[in-house]
């Protein structure tokens, strides 16, 4: 991942990275954070800092939806439902990509 120019995610700076920091060296986390683009924080600039979920954005704009409730994913993984979790994550990536590319197409400050 060091070779990536940009890492895009929805709520990655406040959620995902706060989890990952316990597993990844601090200097790597700093490098990762510097090249990260958080669609949730960008969107908040246009909504008076209102939090909007990836699922809401993708459902309302692209007809895409999460395949499971996020809270169930860790248990699903522990219970051996790895293929379902992988499909959930792939779907999240597709939704994030759609939101990011839509903003980029509309020339929102990216």
pLDDT in tens, 66-84: 999 999 999 999 999 999 9
**Choice between 51 and 69, residue whose per-residue pLDDT is larger:** 69
Burial of 57 (0-12, 13-18, 19+ CB in 10 A): buried
Residue count of the chain, please give it: 110
- Supply the pLDDT for residue 105: 87
Distance CA(65)–CA(45), nearest Å, equals 23
State pTM to two decimals: 0.84
- Supply the pLDDT for residue 108: 61
**Which residue is it, tokens 């929805």?**
10
């Amino acid at each position: 991942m060091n070779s990536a120019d940009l890492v895009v995610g929805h709520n990655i700076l406040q959620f995902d990275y706060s989890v990952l920091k316990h597993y990844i060296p601090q200097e790597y986390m700093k490098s990762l954070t510097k090249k990260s683009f958080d669609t949730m924080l960008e969107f908040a600039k246009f909504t008076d800092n209102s939090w909007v979920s990836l699922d809401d954005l993708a459902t309302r704009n692209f007809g895409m939806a999460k395949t499971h409730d996020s809270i169930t994913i860790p248990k699903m993984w522990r219970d051996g439902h790895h293929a379902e979790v992988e499909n959930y994550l792939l779907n999240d990536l597709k939704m994030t990509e759609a939101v990011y590319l839509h903003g980029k197409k509309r020339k929102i400050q990216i």
